[in-house]
Amino acid sequence: MGSKNSPATKRADALRSIEAIVHAAAECLGQNPEASLSEIARAAGVGRVTLYAHFASRAEVVDAAMSRAIDRGNEVLDTVDLTGDPQHALARYIEAGWPLVDQARALLAAAQRELPAGRIRELHAAPAARVETLVARGRAEGAFRSDLPIVWMVNVLHALMHSAAEEIRAGRLTSDHAADHITATALAAFTPPGRPVPGGGSGT
């Protein structure tokens, strides 16, 4: 057992403080993208001095909170079955991924204010790669159109998800209908020209 002042104990304390700050930042910014560092520090149970000892700026706090949210989201998306019929796989991805976008919309708004666009794209690289792989397979199997760039198709899907979040915030869409709306619209956009558009749904 190390003493209270041992390097190992100090390191453990620092890691606990960092985890508490990042967790509090994700919670506070997820509710209010303009939440102050003082609010985040209070929610984490630490002082501003401790917060600044680990994070040099608000941007660093936002970056850490966004990274945490995306890591947690990837854990959820890793469990989604993206095999089999590409259209059904896309529907399953949307069903699982849409709530993550909805939950993180305020946090994303904070990130868009604090972080460069390139950094936000970097943070979203893993979720984007997952969809790019699915779209590429769907194109190879003839389920998805091949006349548009894959990156564009992935951006269209994510834009639909973010637009749905805005529609919910505006009171024009309810959360329980969002996944079906996104799926129906994405399938219509992804279906090869001249082919009948499949119905929406989870595809299970």
Q: Which amino acid is at 76?
A: V
pLDDT score recorded for residue 201: 43
Residue 146 burial class via C-beta count within 10 angstroms: exposed 0-12, middle 13-18, buried 19 and up:
middle
Give residue 102's pLDDT.
Answer: 81
Considering Cα of 80, then 83, then 84, then 88, what sign does the dihedral take? positive
What is the C-alpha separation between 98 and 181, in angstroms, rounded?
11
Residue 116: alpha-carbon gap to chain centroid: 16
The pLDDT value recorded for residue 175 is 86
CA pair distance 74, 131, nearest whole angstrom: 12
Residue in the structure block whose two tokens are 């969002």: 178
Structure tokens at 73: 């989201």
Q: Which of 92, 83, 93, 78 is nearest to 203 (CA)?
A: 92
Residue entry with tokens 């091949």: 146
Q: What is the pLDDT along the chain (204 residues), one digit of tens a residue?
A: 455 567 777 788 888 999 999 999 999 998 899 999 999 999 999 999 999 999 999 999 999 999 999 999 999 999 999 999 999 999 999 999 988 888 888 888 899 999 999 998 898 888 889 999 999 999 999 999 999 999 999 999 989 998 998 898 889 998 889 999 999 999 999 999 988 888 644 444
Q: What are phi and psi of 186, to 5 degrees?
A: -65, -40
